[in-house]
Amino acid sequence: MDDSTSCEAVAVTAPSRTLFTPRVLVPLALVALYFVWGSTYLAIRVALESYPPFLMAGTRFLIAGGALYAFLRWRGMPAPTRTQWLNSAITGTLLLGMGNGLVCFAEQSVASGLAAVAVAAMPLFAAVFGGLYGHWPRRMEWLGLAVGFAGVVLLNLGGSMSGAPLGAIALIIAAMSWAFGSVWSRRRDMPPAAMNTAAQMLTGGAVLFVGALLFGERYPAMPTMSSTLALGYLAVAGSLIGFSAYLYLLNTVRPALATSYAYVNPPVAVLVGALFAGEAIRAFDIVAMAVILGGVGLIAMARERRA
């Protein structure tokens, strides 16, 4: 092979490699989390019109996890080791079984505004749990966390903040479980790449089915079409795309940036509700969204300064 051929080969392969660098993949993963997971608030509410919470969440994750696991094994990826399955089961229980499952449970009785505030507290819990492992947020990240949380509080001022006490407690436990699972899993032997997503969804989905059994939940005899479509959207977009993006960020960037979606999801949920459910947007809501995005910007700037 002559020199000109070698140069051509480098010119062809270099751009394709560039596409798979963190500089490109991190922003794409953040966009997926911000907008896809923001839209799941409405999807969960629609799915709950027919399906009970734990059974709905378990079905979502088992379908998505089973399909992804079968595809990866068909492509030749080795199955997780016994230790990796155990770590995936613990993380899947914390993130999906308790984190997502309790949010679905709470949305039956708790106002959406209160749910948004509780979920937005998750990065603060993650910062505390990360500090227990010696990784406290930097000064600018603390500022971004505070500004982002203040924006979510502003977003909910004047809204319906009342809810059943049991639902409110469930939201707090959900935020703490998701935060601890996110921090804990970063220091464990987990399956590689997409297999990590599949293993956690399978184990988390199984835990949710156990919860559904304990609560006596059953599939509806005649679910509505809209609820079934919402369940399908949650399985494909919310689980396969969103959860894969989240696990990638957990292993690539600092926890403050990986968990910043909790601040962006509430305003996205407001916009989705306005577009598809006819919910009104006040001028005060727009101000609050700007504050939230400002907090996320501070967190992103802290990451860039470190880089």
- Does pLDDT of 193 surpass 60? yes
pLDDT digits (tens, 9 = 90+) for 289-303: 788 878 877 876 775
- Does pLDDT of 277 surpass 80? no
Q: What is the mean pLDDT of residues 30-52?
A: 91
Q: How confident is the model at residue 305 (pLDDT cuts 50, 70, 90)?
A: low
Close Cβ partners of 180 (under 8 Å, ≥ 6 residues apart):
94, 125, 129
pLDDT digits (tens, 9 = 90+) for 44-55: 989 999 999 999
* pLDDT of res. 303: 59
Measured at the CA of 185, the angle between CA 181 and CA 187, to 5 degrees, comes to: 135
Close Cβ partners of 148 (under 8 Å, ≥ 6 residues apart):
120, 123, 260, 263, 291, 292, 294, 295, 296, 299
Nearest to residue 97, comparing CAs of 8, 176, 18, 177? 177
Q: How confident is the model at residue 307 (pLDDT cuts 50, 70, 90)?
A: low
- Does pLDDT of 232 surpass 90? yes
More reliable by pLDDT, 113 or 57: 57
More reliable by pLDDT, 255 or 91: 91
* pLDDT of res. 12: 45
pLDDT digits (tens, 9 = 90+) for 133-189: 777 777 888 888 888 888 877 776 655 545 567 887 898 899 899 989 988 998 899
Top mean-pLDDT range of 9-13, 92-96, 126-130: 92-96
Lookup: tokens for 69:
């696991």
Q: What is the mean pLDDT of residues 195-200?
A: 94
SS3 labels along the chain: CCHHHHHHHHHHHHHHHHCCCHHHHHHHHHHHHHHHHHHHHHHHHHHCCCCCHHHHHHHHHHHHHHHHHHHHHHCCCCCCCHHHHHHHHHHHHHHHHHHHHHHHHHCCCECHHHHHHHHHCHHHHHHHHHHHCCCCCCHHHHHHHHHHHHHHHHHHCCCCCCECHHHHHHHHHHHHHHHHHHHHHCCCCCCCHHHHHHHHHHHHHHHHHHHHHHCCCCCCCCCCHHHHHHHHHHHHHHHHHHHHHHHHHHCCCCHHHHCCHHHHHHHHHHHHHHHHHCCCCCHHHHHHHHHHHHHHHHHHHHHHHHC
The four Cα atoms 291, 295, 300, 301 give a dihedral, to 10 degrees, of 90
More reliable by pLDDT, 41 or 14: 41
Q: Domain ranges for the chain, please list them.
A: 26-306
Q: How confident is the model at residue 113 (pLDDT cuts 50, 70, 90)?
A: low
More reliable by pLDDT, 284 or 1: 284
Top mean-pLDDT range of 3-7, 100-104, 186-190: 100-104
